[in-house]
Amino acid sequence: MLKATYEVLQPAGNHSFLVRSFGKAGFAAPYHFHPEYELTWIVKGSGKRYAGSHMAGFSDGDLVLLGPHVPHCWKLQPDAKSSSAARSIVIQFTPDFLGNDFFSKPELHNIRQLFQRSGGGIQFVKKTRALVQEQLMGLAAEKNSFRQMIRLLEILQQLAVSKEYTQLDRQWQAGELSPADQARIHPIFAYLVEHFRQEVSLDKAAAIAGMTPNAFCKYFKRITRKTFIETVIEYRVNYAAQQLTQSDKTISDICFDSGFGDVSHFYKMFKAKMQLSPLQYRQQFGAL
């Protein structure tokens, strides 16, 4: 059965957290989750970022903090010329990596609040992103484990006091789901991430969840605040929007490549979400 992969992370013996750099191969990781917080900086690369029920484009400099158990992956744009140079730096740490009560100290109040906000994912932008990227380069290059820890705390404090961020998914907090709900809903999004550009079957999704289609529809909306079909269309429209601005494919080709089976339906759904037709969107935001 298709499922969101559970990733087991193990820091080296003299470290309490992980600092890793990935090349192109790292973006091929399946939709996965783990109990650690994860701070990801996309040094170079563009494509689609999936975090819980949220999907959006990413490009060079993308900086995102994810809370524990948020299923996620970054997929490079297909056939992008720059994909071979894609690179990311990823920091992963457990909630208690410095001890059970460390972040309960009053001096760390802001970081504790940051962790609470990260349940649906946080994207950092503007000056905060530029500043933290420089700090992350220093952390990744640091050889001394004590200095690494201090650098990480400084980065977390910088993120914690910043107002330059966007909540990726305000409605769905993975950390608030019961283990049973996580086990049921994560495979559904794994199925969507891998198949939304193809024919998506409600019956198949319901079978993955071990439910009847009617019960599944009610369950999915209760968890995500969206219908299953709305979510599929949102994934397809977002993917099409990226293709319109970053490729020279015809609109018809983009329609079918994004999973729509009919051009007129594609135009209708795209305009309903973006308030622009596909052609208008390409003319306004395209860089080609």
pTM exceeds 0.75, yes or no: yes
Q: What is the pLDDT of residues 155-200, one digit of tens each?
A: 999 999 999 999 997 665 555 678 888 888 889 999 998 899 999 9
Q: What is the pLDDT of residues 43-82, one digit of tens each?
A: 999 999 998 888 888 999 999 999 998 889 999 987 666 6
> Percentage of the chain with pLDDT > 70?
91
pLDDT of 264 > 70? The answer is: yes
The residue among 228 and 246 whose pLDDT is bigger is 228
All domains of the chain in start order, with CATH: 5-167 (2.60.120.280), 196-285 (1.10.10.60)
What's the confidence (pLDDT) of residue 165? 96
Rounded to whole angstroms, the Cα distance separating 171 from 233 reads: 18
Burial of 68 (0-12, 13-18, 19+ CB in 10 A): middle
Stretch (H or E) spanning 74: strand 72-76
Asked if residues 42 and 59 have their Cβ atoms less than 8 Å apart, the reply is: yes
The residue among 239 and 10 whose pLDDT is bigger is 239
- By C-alpha distance, which of 204, 198, 172, 196 is closest to 2? 204
Question: Mean per-residue pLDDT for 258-266?
Answer: 95
Question: Mean per-residue pLDDT for 255-277?
Answer: 95
What's the confidence (pLDDT) of residue 5? 62
Going by the DSSP 8-state scheme, the letter that residue 8 receives in this structure is: P
Burial of 257 (0-12, 13-18, 19+ CB in 10 A): middle
Rounded to whole angstroms, the Cα distance separating 7 from 59 reads: 24
What's the confidence (pLDDT) of residue 119? 86
What's the confidence (pLDDT) of residue 31? 86
Beta bridge partners of 56: 49
Work out the mean pLDDT of the chain and round it to a whole number.
89
Q: What is the pLDDT of residues 78-136, one digit of tens each?
A: 766 667 899 999 999 999 999 999 999 999 999 999 999 998 899 999 999 999 999 99
Question: Mean per-residue pLDDT for 195-211?
Answer: 94
pLDDT of 143 > 70? The answer is: yes
- Planar angle of CA 65, 34, 141, nearest 5 degrees: 55
Helix boundaries (H) for 142-262: 145-161, 179-195, 202-209, 213-224, 228-246, 251-257
Residue with tokens 């329609």: 255
In three-state secondary structure terms, 36 is coil
